Amino acid sequence: KEFVEYKNELLHKNVSECPEIPPDLGPLDIRLLYNTNLLTILSQNPNLRPGGRSRPQYCRALQKIAIIIPFRNRESHLRTWLYYMHPFLQQQQADYGVYVVEQIEDTMFNRGKLMNVGYSIASKDYDYSCFIFSDVDIIPMDGRNLYRCSKNPRHMANSVDKFNFKLPYNDIFGGIVAFTKEHFKKLNGFSNVFWGWGGEDDELFQRVVAVGLKVDRPDQTIARSKMISHKRDSGNESTGKSFALISKAHKRLHKDGLSSLNYIISITSHKLYTKVTVDIGNGE
């Protein structure tokens, strides 16, 4: 078996590069009420490899993409995400893996820290060059919205139905962002100190600016996306501390982030994704 895998790897190195723009992409019919189960999704994605991995068969992808999803108590959203996104990513000829990072119960949610954990676990798994940090409840409505990294850090949730397909404010950097490995390391990842709802993404934007990078955004027509509507999760209330934290973002840049990450995890390889279950503490 190992020999077969080794041979496949060698053969794959010799196939030609995939085109920059994959063929046959266009608008998609996304209906979020769709209720599906994992077996159906599996049967519709026969070519997935364990851990929710895939890569194009007949060409070599230009980027290796890890999708990191922070998660708690959103099973039905995750099913919807997997149902739409596996076919979407394969149609885009992506070489990718899906990492669902679940925070265990009883502590305030910490989206930024979960993203950092996802980054660090995915980096150990495969030679990913691009990291897409995505909420579980946003589904793109057009196949031409390429889930890829670009020259600059990229804010990809710039056209969400919840905000009438507009930016609610200019510097918004929430929902979905894409970073090359080099850029994410340069800004030391997300801050780990945002517990509860709001602000960790605004702080990330400040980090991008502080290290001298610019933000790209996709075309707003092509980037149209649907957000699954839901009530605010319990354990993810706003603490009211975000504003004060963000105003000192530059002071913490080098000491708070990937460089100060501590956690206890277990990793399980599911067929549709890699599940990272993590105890990240409670901020005390």
Catalytic residues: 135, 137, 197, 200-201, 227, 230, 232
Shortest Å, Cβ 199 to ligand BGN: 4
Shortest Å, Cβ 153 to ligand BGN: 15
- Under rule CB under 6 A, how many of the chain's residues touch ligand BGN? 10
> Nearest CA to 90 among 127, 128, 117, 52?
52
Residues 27-56 that bind ligand BGN (CB under 6 A): none
Question: Cβ–Cβ contacts within 10 Å for residue 4, how many?
Answer: 8
One character per residue 174-213, x = contact with ligand BGN (rule: CB under 6 A)? x-----------------------xx-xx-----------
Q: 102 or 137, CB closer to ligand BGN?
A: 137
Shortest Å, Cβ 198 to ligand BGN: 2
Q: Which residues pair with 186 in a beta bridge?
A: none
> Nearest CA to 61 among 73, 53, 72, 50?
53
Helix or strand or coil: residue 110? coil
Shortest Å, Cβ 246 to ligand BGN: 6
Shortest Å, Cβ 240 to ligand BGN: 9
From the list 95-103, 131-139, 168-176, 219-227, the region that binds ligand BGN by CB under 6 A is 168-176
Q: What are phi and psi of 277, to 5 degrees?
A: -100, 130
* Nearest-5° Cα angle at 282, 277 to 284: 145
What does the DSSP 8-state code read for residue 197? S
Pull the structure tokens for residue 268. 């399980």
Q: 194 or 273, CB closer to ligand BGN?
A: 194
Handedness of CA 268, 107, 32, 145 (dihedral sign): negative
- Chain position whose Cβ is nearest to ligand BGN: 198
Residues 207-246 that bind ligand BGN (CB under 6 A): 242-243, 246
Written as one letter, the residue type at 160 is V
| 215 Cβ contact list (under 8 Å, min separation 6) | 152, 153, 154, 155, 173, 205, 208
Interface with ligand BGN, residue 102, by CB under 6 A: no
Binding residues for ligand BGN, rule: CB under 6 A, are 168, 172, 174, 198-199, 201-202, 242-243, 246
